[in-house]
């Protein structure tokens, strides 16, 4: 086809896990028990405080980074309190699973099989929680539930209206999650911008929530935009003023305004926002552009966000060595590196990098772990390429997940180039399938081998639809989704990378390596490094004759963290560095 971290300030509001080692063998396997450092990031619910609520809204325009901002606020508390995030989306789809990645960005898959917004990747990386599908509300889900309740007679014959029936359902949904998860802090992000008609009911529910839980238990944060037009060379606060005015019309007065801007707010602008938006200027914070999103919690803490949370909600973060570890990790990620490698990402959605957001993050995690810069080269496989020229100065290749027939032959040729030239290669989901097809064609001699997704009449369907998927016509939520366990082949490269004989990774696919061709593939040297517990599904492959040629049917990038990079990505980067060293 999406990490955990924490930060703090000198006042002491946060903690993070200890830094992972450069040694791959030292990295805990995905399925291993948490380390003692991890336990620091998994606080038990506090019974001595009522549930606290932080509601994050946005204004002016979308794409300002509400998800990252919300995750960064929660990050300041996550080492001490159980912070549970909820994302509210206005679209009528039940989930984003059937949306074009170019329109909506990456689909993030959860352990429970839920397909959710890519903001959940930020939540998991920053809050050290394993999110659930129920934590993502869409208006499609909400209306679906209202209709079911009406059909069952739950409304006792009353006229079903947007207010109060729909808003009551939204609030109860939030409160139910808080109860079930034992939350100390509920972090509610309302997608879109204030004024969007599709989000009005979420805004109204958030307004009503203050009366339900008490003003001492809720904090409203509004992220807005402060542009600096080139022709005037001055920050302009009018969009922020108008956005806040719209929010106040809906009954919510923000306690904190975060101004998205290219440089920190100057004092006149902070004063102006404070005056027109009716808040202390110390609560007008700068959400400036940063070199890495992992620096954002540090910036918020530095501007006094923890003090504001303490004043409004009566709770504190923590301090200590974890704060220093997080800061050190961020600095390691952003410093000038002595070495640099180039990794090509060969796919068909390269026009929008958000389509591969978690892959990009996983490679950033490797940058910090290996103290090397990772330069990305995007290769659109649906166009004819001179691979010899395209691959010049490329150290490694990732063929990521995808669907459909467009760009398939380009991906297969890319795999072939990597195999024949011993270029470190990682195939993810569809990328594994392309590697199997290439191997079947050019090593096993199965001319025209293909996936039945691409060619339903191929004589050698080495990749075929999962048996349980054959009768399914609807697309949404029908794939093999969520976390599945694989049994690893002893002594294989991938087993050594994970350091475990069993591995759990997340999946999102309908097609698999056809069991009828397992024997011929293995006979010709392809190693099935990991298979499903019943042995029928191939989960990991590798070519032992090459420096690094591996593939997985899973999406390991979704569990990668800044402090513990995904093993297969770490293995790829390490192999690239070794290959580069050999050439010198």
90 phi/psi in degrees, rounded to 5: -85, -15
Q: If you search the block for the tokens 């697309």, which residue do you land on?
A: 475
Active site residue 557: yes
Pick from 513, 536, 332, 545: nearest CA to 431: 513
Token pair of 63, please?
Answer: 């794409």
Q: Give CA–CA dist 238/167, Å, rounded.
A: 31
For residue 45, give the DSSP letter.
P
H helices of 87-129, in order, are 101-104, 119-127
Exposed e or buried b per residue across 295-310, where buried means at least 16 C-beta atoms within 10 angstroms of its C-beta:
bbbbbbbbbbbbbbbe
Which residues are within 8 A (CB) of 222 and not within 5 positions of it... i.e. 6 or more apart?
56, 57, 58, 59, 194, 243, 244, 247, 254, 256, 257, 258
Q: Active site residue: 429, 453, 574, 576, which one?
A: 429
Q: Which of 495, 557, 574, 576 is catalytic?
A: 557
Of 539, 555, 574, 576, catalytic:
555
Q: Is 576 considered catalytic here?
A: no
Of 514, 521, 519, 511, the C-alpha closest to 445 is 521
Token digits of residue 397: 């290749």
Cα dihedral 250, 252, 253, 258 sign: negative
Supply the Cα-derived Rg of the chain in whole angstroms: 25
Strand 450-451 versus strand 185-190 pairing type: unpaired
Euclidean distance between CA atoms 449 and 438, whole angstroms: 8
Distances (CA, A) of 562 to 6, 41, 156, 335, 497: 10, 14, 51, 15, 17
Classify the C-alpha dihedral 350-354-359-360 as positive or negative.
positive
**Cα 309 to chain centroid, rounded:** 26
Q: Residue 166: helix, strand or coil by DSSP?
A: helix
Angle at 411 between CA 406 and CA 412, to 5 degrees: 115
Dihedral sign from CA coordinates of 292, 372, 24, 503: positive
Residue with tokens 């990732």: 398
Say if residues 557 and 362 touch (Cβ distance below 8 Å): yes
Strand partners, 549: 425
Let me know if 429 is a catalytic residue. yes
Instruction: Give the catalytic positions in this structure.
Output: 429, 555, 557
């Amino acid at each position: 086809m999406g990490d955990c971290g924490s930060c703090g300030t000198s006042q002491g509001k946060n903690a993070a896990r200890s830094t992972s080692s450069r040694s791959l063998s030292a990295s805990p396997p995905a399925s291993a028990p948490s380390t003692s450092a991890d336990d620091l990031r998994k606080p038990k619910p506090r019974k001595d405080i009522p549930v606290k609520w932080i509601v994050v809204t946005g204004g002016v325009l979308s794409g300002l980074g509400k998800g990252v901002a919300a995750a960064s606020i929660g990050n300041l508390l996550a080492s001490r309190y159980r912070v549970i995030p909820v994302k509210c989306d206005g679209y009528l789809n039940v989930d984003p699973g059937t949306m074009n990645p170019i329109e909506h960005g990456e689909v993030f898959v959860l352990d429970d099989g839920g397909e959710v917004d890519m903001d959940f990747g930020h939540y998991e990386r920053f809050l050290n929680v394993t999110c659930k599908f129920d934590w993502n509300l869409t208006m499609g889900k909400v209306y679906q539930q209202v209709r079911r309740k009406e059909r069952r007679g739950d409304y006792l014959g009353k006229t079903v209206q947007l207010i109060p029936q729909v808003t009551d359902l939204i609030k109860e949904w939030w409160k139910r999650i808080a109860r079930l998860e034992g939350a100390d802090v509920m972090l509610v992000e309302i997608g879109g911008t204030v004024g969007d008609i599709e989000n009005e009911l979420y805004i109204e529910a958030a307004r009503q929530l203050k009366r339900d839980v008490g003003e001492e238990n809720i904090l409203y944060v509004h992220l807005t935009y402060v542009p600096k037009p080139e022709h005037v060379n001055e920050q302009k606060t009018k969009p922020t003023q108008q956005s806040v005015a719209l929010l106040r019309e809906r009954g919510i007065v923000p306690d904190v305004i975060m101004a998205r801007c290219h440089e920190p707010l100057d004092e006149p602008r902070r004063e102006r926002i404070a005056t027109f938006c009716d808040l202390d200027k110390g609560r007008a914070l700068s959400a400036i552009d940063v070199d890495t999103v992992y620096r954002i919690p540090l910036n918020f803490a530095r501007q006094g966000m923890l003090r504001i949370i303490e004043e409004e909600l009566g709770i504190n973060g923590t301090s200590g060595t974890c704060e220093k570890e997080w800061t050190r990790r961020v600095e390691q990620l952003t410093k000038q590196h002595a070495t640099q490698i180039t990794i090509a990402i060969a796919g068909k959605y390269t026009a929008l990098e958000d389509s591969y957001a978690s892959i990009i993050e996983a490679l950033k995690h490797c940058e910090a772990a290996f103290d090397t810069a990772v330069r990305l080269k995007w290769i659109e496989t649906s166009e004819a390429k001179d691979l010899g020229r395209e691959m010049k100065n490329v150290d490694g290749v990732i063929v990521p997940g995808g669907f459909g027939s467009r760009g398939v032959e380009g991906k297969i040729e890319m795999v072939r180039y990597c195999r024949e030239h011993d270029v470190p290669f990682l195939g993810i989901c569809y990328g594994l399938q392309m590697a199997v097809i290439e191997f079947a064609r050019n090593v096993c001699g199965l001319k025209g081998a293909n996936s039945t997704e691409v060619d339903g009449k191929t004589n050698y369907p080495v990749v075929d639809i999962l048996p349980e998927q054959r009768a399914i016509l609807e697309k949404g939520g029908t794939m093999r989704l969520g976390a599945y366990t694989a049994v690893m082949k002893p002594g294989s490269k991938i087993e050594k990378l994970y350091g475990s004989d069993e591995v759990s990774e997340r999946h999102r696919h309908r097609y698999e390596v056809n069991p009828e061709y397992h024997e011929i593939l293995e006979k010709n040297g392809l190693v099935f490094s990991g298979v499903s517990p019943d042995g029928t599904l191939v989960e990991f492959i590798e070519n032992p004759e090459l420096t690094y040629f591996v593939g997985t049917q899973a999406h390991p990038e979704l569990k990668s963290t800044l402090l513990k990079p995904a093993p297969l990505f770490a293995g790829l980067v390490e192999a690239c560095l070794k290959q580069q060293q050999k050439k010198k």
